[in-house]
A = this chain, B = another copy of it.
Amino acid sequence: MDILKDRILSEGQALGGNVLKVDSFLNHKVDPKLMYDMGTYFSEYFKDHGITKIFTIESSGIAPTVMTAMQMGLQMVTLKKQASKILNGDVYQTTVHSFTKNMDYELTLSKKYIDKDDKILIIDDFLANGEAALGAARVVEMAGATVAGIGIVIEKSFQPGREMLNEKGYDVYSLARVSKLGKDLIEFITE
């Protein structure tokens, strides 16, 4: 998605070797037109996957996901990050480790909003170590439903997440694939 790569190049900040800050259009200030365009790309790619619902993880995935869901005519579900386990039978939960924040949270889905026939598209803002996407996939599979695709806004291809998702056989589509980050340097995988 060239307009996204252009925005990353002009506004993204590479901090250290692993962190790409895109606070000016995705994670803090948000450009709604760009979110809509992301939705167009995701819906185009996944249109023949038989998707029945779209899941995201709070909170930076919500804006591109709601735009995708609108264009695909589907409902979305925001998986919640709970600090602690909910000890009743109404939810699916799995523990996810956040490397960015160096803490664990319980990714939580109400059982009401999924059933075993669902084919779920998971959308998230970043793919790095794959913890969040794999956690979302686990809650889908706990319900006996199918992960029909994973859509990522920005993939940091030099971290292990992409490979882990590929190994599980998921169909991963990333709008921008960053191959290298360094001081004043952002490079993409060209496809």
On A, residues with C-beta under 8 Å from B are 23-24, 27-33, 35-36, 58-60, 62-63, 66-67, 69-70, 74-78, 80, 110, 112-113
Contact = CB atoms under 8 A, between A and B. Distances in A.
Contacts of A63: 62-63, 66, 76
Contacts of A77: 28-30
Contact of A62 (B23, B59, B70, B74): B59
13 contacts: A24-B112, A24-B113, A28-B110, A29-B113, A30-B69, A30-B75, A30-B76, A32-B66, A32-B74, A32-B75, A60-B78, A62-B63, A63-B66
A102 to B, nearest CB: 12
Contacts of A62: 30, 59, 62-63, 66
A36 B74 CA distance: 13
Given A23-B112, A30-B76, 12 more contacts: A23-B110, A24-B113, A28-B113, A32-B69, A32-B75, A32-B76, A33-B70, A35-B66, A59-B62, A63-B66, A66-B66, A66-B67
A105 to B, nearest CB: 12
A36 B78 contact: no
Residue among A58, A59, A69, A80 with the most chain B CB within 10 A?
A: A59
Contacts of A66: 30, 32, 35, 62-63, 66-67
Given A23-B110, A66-B66, A66-B67, A59 B30 contact: no
Contacts of A76: 29-30, 32, 63
Contact of A78 (B30, B75, B80): B30
B75 A31 contact: yes
